[in-house]
């Protein structure tokens, strides 16, 4: 039988206009789409084949990863065009690497279709250029939730780099992370921003200081999915020049 490669497709952060052309083509051509929880309903609406929701939310109750692998393998062996649709970019905190390994081990071809990662596009949605050279020589993308049995990032070492920190999956542990960064010597008044549900109809954000970050998250009720940005560049969110152009009227700047 002529097997199609399975496509691991990045859906971007939300708004379907941020899909790549290739992602859109793969989604439309798929016989079956296995989609994560975080995929925007407007992207799911583009699916013409069978849609299977195989959620993974913030490390809580989720479809077993092995079950997802087995399902993809079964569908692909049945000769179906399989799209595994993942939020943002499939290779940024998405277990994409594990899924590629499982598919290749099963003798299947895999294609990875990169997407816009929320850690870059989310801050950008509220006017934060994560590597603005006037403020920093670079950016670190790091998880605030390494997962069961995985080691904690060395927050003190990250703090010493002077690079912008973009923290995925960090809101639930913001108090702990903030304490570690302050203990490592980051300034209490260093700008910090939180962008929740970026590029979706529920987008909200706040700008504050590192010391006030946990309180700000609680006061503004900023919930997952959200990115935390720590570094001088976070202060640029206030300008909201891009937010004003690209976001719907209800997504106004919220200063915390």
Q: Is 168 in the site for ligand SAH (CB under 6 A)?
A: yes
Of 6, 52, 75, 94, the residue at the interface with ligand SAH (CB under 6 A) is: 94
CA distance 178 to 211: 7
CA distance 63 to 50: 18
Q: Find the residue with minimal CB distance to ligand SAH.
A: 88
Q: Catalytic residues, which ones?
A: 36, 56, 169
Q: Is 7 in the site for ligand SAH (CB under 6 A)?
A: no
Binding mask 97-136 vs ligand SAH (x if CB under 6 A, - otherwise)? Answer: --------------------xxx--x--------------
Instruction: Name the 3-class secondary structure at 245.
Output: helix
CA distance 117 to 198: 11
Q: Judging by beta carbons within 10 Å of its beta carbon (0-12, 13-18, 19+), is residue 172 exposed, middle or buried?
A: middle
Q: Write down the H helix ranges in the chain.
A: 21-29, 41-44, 65-77, 96-105, 118-125, 155-160, 174-183, 213-219, 241-246
- Complex with ligand SAH: residue 9 or 92, whichever CB lies closer: 92
Q: Which of residues 173-232 bind ligand SAH (CB under 6 A)?
A: 195-200, 224-227
Q: Which of residues 10-39 bind ligand SAH (CB under 6 A)?
A: 13-14, 38
Binding mask 36-75 vs ligand SAH (x if CB under 6 A, - otherwise)? Answer: --x-------------------x-----------------
- Complex with ligand SAH: residue 80 or 236, whichever CB lies closer: 236
CA distance 121 to 199: 8
Q: C-alpha angle 49/50/52, rounded to 5°?
A: 140
Residue 131 CB, shortest distance to ligand SAH, in Å, is 17
- Complex with ligand SAH: residue 80 or 170, whichever CB lies closer: 170
CB 7 within 8 A of CB 35: no
Q: Is 243 in the site for ligand SAH (CB under 6 A)?
A: no
Instruction: Name the 3-class secondary structure at 216.
Output: helix
Give one word for 213, left, alpha or beta, with left for phi > 0 and alpha for psi -120 to 50: alpha
Residue 1 CB, shortest distance to ligand SAH, in Å, is 31
Q: Where do contacts with ligand SAH occur on this chain (CB under 6 A)?
A: 13-14, 38, 58, 86-89, 92-94, 117-119, 122, 168-169, 195-200, 224-227
């Amino acid at each position: 039988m002529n097997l199609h490669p399975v496509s691991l497709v990045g859906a971007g952060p939300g708004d379907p206009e941020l899909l790549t052309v290739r992602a859109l083509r793969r989604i439309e051509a798929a016989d079956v789409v296995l989609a994560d929880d975080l995929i925007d309903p407007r992207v799911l609406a583009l699916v013409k084949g069978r849609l299977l929701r195989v959620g993974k939310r913030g490390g809580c109750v989720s479809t077993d990863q092995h079950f997802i692998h087995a399902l993809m393998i079964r569908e692909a062996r049945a000769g179906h065009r399989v799209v595994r649709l993942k939020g943002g970019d499939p290779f940024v905190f998405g277990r994409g690497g594990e899924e590629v390994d499982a598919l290749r081990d099963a003798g299947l071809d895999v294609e990875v279709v990169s997407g816009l990662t929320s850690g870059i596009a989310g801050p950008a949605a509220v006017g934060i250029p994560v590597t603005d050279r006037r403020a920093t020589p670079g950016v670190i993308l790091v998880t605030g939730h390494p997962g069961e049995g995985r080691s904690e990032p060395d927050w003190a070492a990250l703090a010493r780099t002077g690079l912008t920190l973009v923290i995925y999956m960090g809101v639930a542990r913001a108090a702990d992370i903030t304490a570690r960064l302050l203990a490592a010597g980051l300034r209490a008044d260093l700008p910090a921003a939180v962008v929740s549900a970026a590029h979706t109809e529920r987008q909200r954000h706040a700008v504050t200081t590192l010391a006030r970050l946990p309180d700000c998250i609680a006061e503004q009720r900023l919930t997952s999915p959200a990115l935390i940005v720590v570094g001088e560049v976070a202060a640029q969110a206030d300008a909201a020049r891009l937010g004003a152009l690209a976001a719907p009227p209800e997504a106004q700047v919220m200063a915390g």
